[in-house]
Structure 1
Amino acid sequence: MMGQTQSTQNGKPLASLSLDLDNEWAYLKTHGDPAWESYPSYLATVVPRILHVLARRKLLITVFVVGQDAALEYNHEALMQIAGAGHEIGNHSLRHEPWLHLYSEDDLEQELAEAERHIQAATGQKPIGFRGPGYSQSATMLHVLARRGYAYDASSLPSFIGPIARAYYFATGQFDAEQRERLNRLFGSWKDGLRPLKPYRWRFNGTSLLEMPVTTFPGIRVPIHLSYVMYLAGFSTALAQAYFNTALWTCRLFSVEPSILLHPLDFLGGEDVPRLRFFPSMGMSGQQKIAIVERCLDSLVHRFDVRSVGEHAAVVATRKNLIEAEPND
């Protein structure tokens, strides 16, 4: 439904910005490369780049941190830089396994608790927001998050493109039958494209949990997060920028307060991480990609009042008549 978005004090509608701090080993693990087992990290390289871009625009965002990275001392300096700059720290699971929907309730409790412990020790913040790796989500996960006192989940990607992205990973990776079965819901299913685009409440067992979806293009439900924009930029930077600007305009038209997602590879080129050259857009240099990110963020800031996901969720939580949904697997 079209209409006016709720403006903030500066006269702009609200938006949020987050970054999933997936590390090199996490991409190698999802790709089926055994080199992940030594936990190679690019955080010392990419975090200063990210913080510089954000600081120039005075943006405070949510950074979803993987617990395993927080557990490793050689990542602590980079993680402390993020927290020290004032950014919200979210939980992106302990082991970054996109098959959390297959976990038992006890396993999920342990996964979250251990991730929280390492993240809090490394950053000084206890996460109140969660995003599943590969947008993995289940009713059991939502129940556990609510019981553990989380204010919001941000794992929903309401898009029809998930199976296509999953097919690409299967085509380029090295997976056996068991691994393919575990990854059978990586990036979601076709029916995820029917989920609400605006924030909503999960209701269950007399309690609730706020869902803050990663925004997709209103109407056509294709991704607009920056990794997708980078993919388009591989064909034409002008096309990529026009696409992102049109998506933001359409969000305004349909009264959608966008929650935009960044990834570390939006700031890194193939020269920075040679083992990840298989990933889309890694043919571009880090400098080229940062220029694209900066133009997109400037467009976002021009049109919206950009906050962390936690701040955005706190405002949304005060609103009446939010859509409600019952979780199911």
Structure 2
Amino acid sequence: MRAFQVTEFDTPPVLQDVPKPEAGKGEVLLRIEACGLNFADLLMVKGTYQERPPLPFTLGMEVSGTVVAQGEGVTSPEIGDRVAVFGGNGGLAEFGTFPANLCVTLPDEMPFEHAAAFQVAYSTSHVALDYRAQLQPGETLLVLGAAGGVGLTAVELGKLMGAKVIAAARGADKLEVCRQAGADHVINTRSEDLREAVKSLGGADVVYDPVGGDLFTAALRACKPEARVLTIGFASGSVPQIAANHLLVKNINVIGFYWGGYLRFKPQVLTDSLKQLSQWYAQGKLHPHISHTLPLDQASDGLELLRSRRSTGKVVITP
């Protein structure tokens, strides 16, 4: 089968022929129909992500597909079931093996492409906003990097949860995507002063930040008293240093959040989140935004769309 693999860290991944895997104990073999790309895939190529699989490994964190074989001890999901799974890697291939207990059965109305764009982005934002920051109706939510894969879901979910949403992104086209996702106000970080723009709108109760760098600092200074700042990631490439006196003066909380960590120490948090999100999807309340759908032999192009920030929402690869 074909697989898009990292053979050396910090060198371009390659599409190559590898043996088709067999489902081991507690695993299922999936025919992979779609794989959502994430910024973390770029970090995995460099070898700088929190998880560092042994070389060589197949990229692709979140997949959807059809169960074609069960390993020892597996009774569910059944052969023929349509499922999605966050496997951490292995998704950019024609087939892959994944733990059966992590597979989520798809609603009939959810296409594979939506399923591959759904788990990480939506659940990251849902768990961050609901479980960690405890966003309340009527509060003001500032979303940085708001047109990106997770940022756009934070805009959509924030609005669904009753917040006033301020979306910050680079360029008019991306801001229009944010408006369509429900943003009440938009800020062009390419041409506007983020701190002053947010303060003119009354300040932020919750900040959702997958960007880091100077935008984190500006957002922190635009917070209301008792605000909560969620650190989701550092797409800018710069990890900000926090001036603790700013936290003290305004009684601000800075909250770290790594979605994948809950798989190890509190998986029920993610299970509950995905259950709620699936219900909202089935009710027509969530609308995954996919800007590009590409075949497996264009996976490099998909990663470049993320690297150059030319995508909005998600990029999906269909093996």
TM-score (structure 2 length as normaliser): 0.30
Question: Larger radius of gyration, structure 1 or 2?
Answer: 2
* Structure with greater helix share of residues: 1
**Highest relative contact order (Cα 8 Å, sep 6+), 1 or 2?**
1
TM-score, with structure 1 as normaliser: 0.30
